[in-house]
């Protein structure tokens, strides 16, 4: 397996881990973290794609740089919403599911 394939598969696994965290965890802050994992897994996959064929293509690199900054600003807004919600309701996690719901 070449280095690029290794990083691309790592990116794919990261996306899977991130999605699991987004679906299966209940605390909102952990969900924001999971969202960040999906984002950076995607960037890794995309970056590896852009480096195939010998030369590194600058277009994916430029998009990833803007993507990292945008993902960060989205996280900052998300974290702000989590904190604001906790102040209003005193909780920052989804309640436990009732059986049969």
Partner 1 sequence: MTLAFNAALCALILAAALATILGRGIFRSIMFFIVYGLLMAVAWVRLDVVDVALAEAAIGAGLTGVLFLAAFGRLVREGAEAEPPRRINPPAAVACVGLTAALTWAWFSLPIPERPGPQLAEALPRAGVENPVTAVLLNFRAWDTLLESIVLLAALIGLWMLTREDDWRNRLGLPQHVRPGGVMSGFGRVLPPVGLLVGVYLAYVGADRPGGAFQGGTVLAAVGLVAAMTGLVRPPRISAPGWRAVLVAGPLVFLVAGLAGALLGTNFLTLPAPVAGGAIFVIEVALLLSVAVTLTFLVLGPPEGENRR
Q: Binding to partner 1 (CB under 8 A): which residues in 26-55?
A: 26-27, 29-30, 32-34, 36-37, 40-41, 43-45, 47-55
Shortest distance, CB of residue 39 to partner 1, whole angstroms? 10
Residues 71-100: x/- map of binding to partner 1 (CB under 8 A)? -xxxxxx-xxxxxx-xx--xxxxxxx----
Q: Is 4 in the site for partner 1 (CB under 8 A)?
A: yes
CA-to-CA separations, 32 to 6, 8, 26, 42, in angstroms, rounded:
26, 23, 11, 16
Distance between CA 12 and CA 91 in Å, rounded?
33
Q: How many residues bind partner 1 (CB under 8 A)?
A: 79
Closest CA to 42 of 23, 77, 70, 80: 70
43/101 with CB nearer partner 1 = 43
């Amino acid at each position: 397996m070449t280095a690029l394939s290794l990083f691309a598969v790592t990116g794919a696994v990261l996306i899977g881990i991130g999605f699991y965290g987004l679906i299966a965890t209940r605390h909102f802050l952990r969900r924001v973290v999971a969202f960040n994992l999906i984002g950076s897994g995607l960037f890794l996959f995309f970056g590896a794609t852009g480096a195939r064929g010998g030369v590194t293509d600058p277009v994916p690199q430029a998009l990833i740089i803007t993507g990292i900054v945008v993902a960060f600003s989205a996280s900052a807004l998300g974290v702000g919403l989590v904190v604001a919600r906790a102040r209003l309701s005193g909780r920052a996690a989804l309640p436990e599911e009732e059986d049969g719901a």
